[in-house]
Structure 1
Amino acid sequence: MTRRHLRLAAVAAAGALALTACASNGASTAPAEDGEVSGEVTMWMYPVIKDEAASKEFWAGAEADFEEEHPGVDLTIELQPFAKRDEQISAALAANSGPDLALVTPDMAATYLNVGGVQPVGEAIDDPDVFYPSTIEAGTFDGEVYGVPIFQNIATNVVNTKVFADAGLEIPDTWDDVLEAAPVLAEQGIAVMDYAGTTEQTLNLSFYPFLWQAGGSVFTDDGTDVAFDSKEGVAALEFLVDLQEMGGLPADSATASITIEGSPWAAGKVGIHTNGLPAELAPLRAAVGGEGVEAALPFEDEIRATFGNPGLMALTSINKQQNREAAYAVLEFLSSKEFQTELSVASGNFSSRTDVPAPGEGADYETLEAALEYAIPGEPNPAARQVMAALAPYIQSALRGELSPEEALDQAADEARGILDRN
């Protein structure tokens, strides 16, 4: 993605954020004369550890551990809710009041870079080669790194093996396998796979993995146009519509929620839960009696692909020169093998580092770790969320049979291009 592309997608707050950046950017300051890094750093962290009490305990410990290593730095870690995270950080940047460091997604990093809200952090990463390449690439723009990856999400298929064994079928691995198994299972009232079509579900965990598997992408390579209306995009949506028509998806897939309780999966009426996250494995297994459930690699068509989004710690334009070295020290701490090992265990997420073990043991985690090879970190484009919101209802229309896949994507693309033009 080029800076030219990023500027094309400037948001209304660009002027305010640009002024903020100009006021605070500059060369990093040298450490104190005695060689000890000093300063004050505020960090906004979000609930990557789902249990609230465990989260508070972990981050309080992390703050204490860091300050023990760097007694000259006053680190304050403030726990924030995920709700309206983007709006919260944007408002803080515009007001030049808020965190020095904040946890962001790749598309958020692209947006904030576009308006001067984040600063390079590459020098805080001692050895980029120990990280999964996709986690570094997700926060890299024009050769500069703007996000230190501190963990890695991964989604993949979760299979009810009993469904396929009872039908005398192999577990599907490719789209062709899915299409072959679908009518056999449909005769028994079972969907070969599920699909969460609600607009509350991110397309990163619904339509986009199929788009990527077909060899397509949401945006063009330079990011100046959408590309989901390509032949690959049509093929991906046709795959889902064909499955719907042959009973290969649950009847309510166009609007289905992401809940497990009371779902067709829990009733034993689904063979594969698509795009499942590690934290879902235990409840998915429990929902069908505790046995016969295992993780599997994502489907393959033109390529094998799935969604795997890194958590990026960004250095904001609020950070002042006198605290720059202190912020770098925090980033180095967060990217270390020791810290990421602890975070991986506490959160259940994979580390962004290749030298940190999986957060659990057994076949499931071996498969999840193998799936990291096929992870795509979403679409790091400043307009990604707006385009996603425009596209989702048209995917629903196709699944309901109101529009053909080609008509749905053409109409969605017209709306999405209007978004890009306005930005």
Structure 2
Amino acid sequence: MKLRSLSPLALTAVAALALASCSSPSAEPATPDDGAVTGEVTLWMYPVIRDEAASKDFWEAAEAGFEKEFPDVDLTVELQTFDKRDEQISAALAANSGPDLVLITPDQAATYLNVGGLLPVDDAIAGDRDVFYPATLESATFEDELYGVPLFQNVFTAAYNKTLFDEAGLDLPTTWDEIREAAPVLADDGIAVMDYLGTPEQTLNLSFYPFLWQAGGTVFADDGTTVAFDSKAGVEALEFLVDLQEAGGLPADAATQSVGIEGSPLAAGTVGIRPTTSPAELAQTRAALGEDAVVVGPPLEGAEQTTYGNPGLLALTSINKKENRAAAHAVLAFLTSQDFQTELNAAAGNFPTRTDVEIAGDEADREAYAAALEVANPGEPNPAARQVMAVLAPYIQSALRGDLSPKEALAKAADEAQAVLDRS
């Protein structure tokens, strides 16, 4: 057992481009004649547990627990930082030297698979597949094969300043129509019905995309080769936000509002809803407004009810050698088991990817977040997802500022984003 903490590698763009030369060895594991699982497996783990000391202790215990069950497998967990994670993983794959397993996101899975850097892992959870939330598996499924086992997930849902709605004599709105109806009532008292974080620092997965999905739209077409956010549904989603802005239903600076609770209109008591709220943000909001003032609700609903929830995936890299394949599968099954996920989610404050793992927290909060898990959208994995997001975000700002109509903003963004997609 060798748990090591490593600093990010010194990298170059040439190393990242060399991904294209990665080989893709057979995904079939090699099992010894006696059926015992043997081998050496290295896992690159990123800060799922924020406290560095607690993280080190947890993963040391995880190594020991796994090796007790599989004494002929040497598991090494190498603790990494998020700094330059993409470059670090890309360089390792290009050099064919690094981890057998690595923690990645769905869009990273799409990118690394595109250049032959990942191996399928269906066999690792063949007996447990039905207990995972379907969306978490779909986020890592490409051409009908699974390229990552969901270890945990983050999920975001609506949080309300209930006091504001009570004082206005309003029920808590959960649909777009109810939000539209509540907006002018609250605006008369100088209250915005809903928050919107328009800063480019905020991922669109937590700002515009949930509304796009709620309208029935998508970022990309099904085949992933064209953008689709400028569809009728996309225009409806952006019009919903712009109409709220014009009616005083969003904060005046929604186009540029920064991330965070401290100093926000929500913490100041001038906003009724934050549509995508994490447990950490919920705790901060309650600290600012009072425990009884803040309640959690299910995800908002337009044509559809959905929210953003991103799983962390344990992926098997092309670096893994056939003689260590069965051992790598054993690690994947162990770390994503019911018992281990229960321990990890308690330590990290995340949510399970398995339906047989209980959600932590107060009962009322558990109910709301459980509802969110059932309809969570993990995002749309695409090698160009982040570049497309960077193109689209300023145009969303333009529409909220009134510089362009929603239709014009999305059409211009689609032209630029499609060029990015074509190049990728």
TM range (shorter): over 0.9
1:19 to partner: Cα distance: 3.4
1:20 aligns to 2:7 (yes or no): no
1:48 is matched with which residue? Answer: 48
1:17 to partner: Cα distance: 3.0
Residues in 2 aligned to 1:222 and 1:266: alpha-carbon distance in whole angstroms:
42
Residues in 1 aligned to 2:164 and 2:98: alpha-carbon distance in whole angstroms:
51
Q: Which amino acid aligns with 2:100?
A: D
The Cα offsets for residues 359-401 of structure 1, whole Å up to 9 and x where unpaired, read as 2231011110111111111001111111111111111111111
1:401 aligns to 2:410 (yes or no): no
The Cα offsets for residues 223-246 of structure 1, whole Å up to 9 and x where unpaired, read as 110000011101111111111111
Residues in 2 aligned to 1:45 and 1:94: alpha-carbon distance in whole angstroms:
19
Q: Secondary structure at the match of 2:50?
A: coil
Contact 1:15 1:115 in 2 (8 A): no
1:26 to partner: Cα distance: 5.3
Contact 2:16 2:87 in 1 (8 A): no
Return closer, same or farther for 1:26/1:147 CA change in 2, 3 Å cut-off. closer
Residues in 2 aligned to 1:157 and 1:335: alpha-carbon distance in whole angstroms:
28
1:406 to partner: Cα distance: 0.9
1:270 aligns to 2:267 (yes or no): no
1:135 to partner: Cα distance: 1.0
Residues in 1 aligned to 2:15 and 2:411: alpha-carbon distance in whole angstroms:
30
1:128 is matched with which residue? Answer: 129
Return closer, same or farther for 1:169/1:35 CA change in 2, 3 Å cut-off. same
Contact 1:348 1:360 in 2 (8 A): no
Q: Which range is displaced more, 199-208 or 361-370?
A: 361-370
Residues in 2 aligned to 1:26 and 1:340: alpha-carbon distance in whole angstroms:
25
Contact 1:196 1:258 in 2 (8 A): yes
Q: Which amino acid aligns with 2:332?
A: L
Return closer, same or farther for 1:328/1:354 CA change in 2, 3 Å cut-off. same
1:324 to partner: Cα distance: 1.1
Identity %: 67
Q: Which amino acid aligns with 2:55?
A: S
The Cα offsets for residues 100-137 of structure 1, whole Å up to 9 and x where unpaired, read as 11111111111111110000001000221111111111
2:10 is matched with which residue? Answer: none
Return closer, same or farther for 1:295/1:12 CA change in 2, 3 Å cut-off. farther
Residues in 2 aligned to 1:244 and 1:53: alpha-carbon distance in whole angstroms:
45
1:34 to partner: Cα distance: 4.6
1:181 is matched with which residue? Answer: 182
**Could you state the TM-score of these two structures normalised by the residue count of structure 1?**
0.94
1:86 is matched with which residue? Answer: 86
Residues in 1 aligned to 2:295 and 2:247: alpha-carbon distance in whole angstroms:
25
1:141 to partner: Cα distance: 1.0
1:14 to partner: Cα distance: 8.8
1:115 is matched with which residue? Answer: 115
Residues in 1 aligned to 2:112 and 2:69: alpha-carbon distance in whole angstroms:
31
Residues in 1 aligned to 2:242 and 2:27: alpha-carbon distance in whole angstroms:
53
Contact 2:27 2:120 in 1 (8 A): no
Residues in 2 aligned to 1:361 and 1:342: alpha-carbon distance in whole angstroms:
17
Residues in 2 aligned to 1:199 and 1:97: alpha-carbon distance in whole angstroms:
35
The Cα offsets for residues 186-238 of structure 1, whole Å up to 9 and x where unpaired, read as 11111101011111111111000000001100011111100000111011111
Residues in 2 aligned to 1:197 and 1:287: alpha-carbon distance in whole angstroms:
22
Residues in 2 aligned to 1:394 and 1:83: alpha-carbon distance in whole angstroms:
28
Contact 1:387 1:416 in 2 (8 A): yes
1:15 to partner: Cα distance: 7.5
Matches within 5 A, 1:141-180: 141-180=142-181
1:199 is matched with which residue? Answer: 200
Q: Secondary structure at the match of 1:265?
A: helix
1:299 to partner: Cα distance: 1.1
1:253 to partner: Cα distance: 1.1
Return closer, same or farther for 1:375/1:397 CA change in 2, 3 Å cut-off. same
Residues in 2 aligned to 1:401 and 1:49: alpha-carbon distance in whole angstroms:
42
Contact 1:43 1:99 in 2 (8 A): yes
Contact 1:156 1:371 in 2 (8 A): yes
1:358 is matched with which residue? Answer: 359
2:8 is matched with which residue? Answer: none
Residues in 1 aligned to 2:164 and 2:14: alpha-carbon distance in whole angstroms:
52
Contact 2:42 2:101 in 1 (8 A): yes
1:341 to partner: Cα distance: 0.8
**What is the CA RMSD across the aligned residues, in angstroms?**
1.6
Return closer, same or farther for 1:15/1:260 CA change in 2, 3 Å cut-off. closer
Mark the runs of 5 or more structure 1 residues left unpaired by the alignment: 1-10
Contact 1:149 1:311 in 2 (8 A): yes
Return closer, same or farther for 1:15/1:183 CA change in 2, 3 Å cut-off. closer
1:315 to partner: Cα distance: 0.2
Q: Secondary structure at the match of 2:379?
A: coil
Contact 2:307 2:377 in 1 (8 A): yes
1:326 is matched with which residue? Answer: 327
Residues in 1 aligned to 2:145 and 2:14: alpha-carbon distance in whole angstroms:
24
Return closer, same or farther for 1:277/1:294 CA change in 2, 3 Å cut-off. same
1:291 is matched with which residue? Answer: 292
- The size of the alignment, in residue pairs, is 411
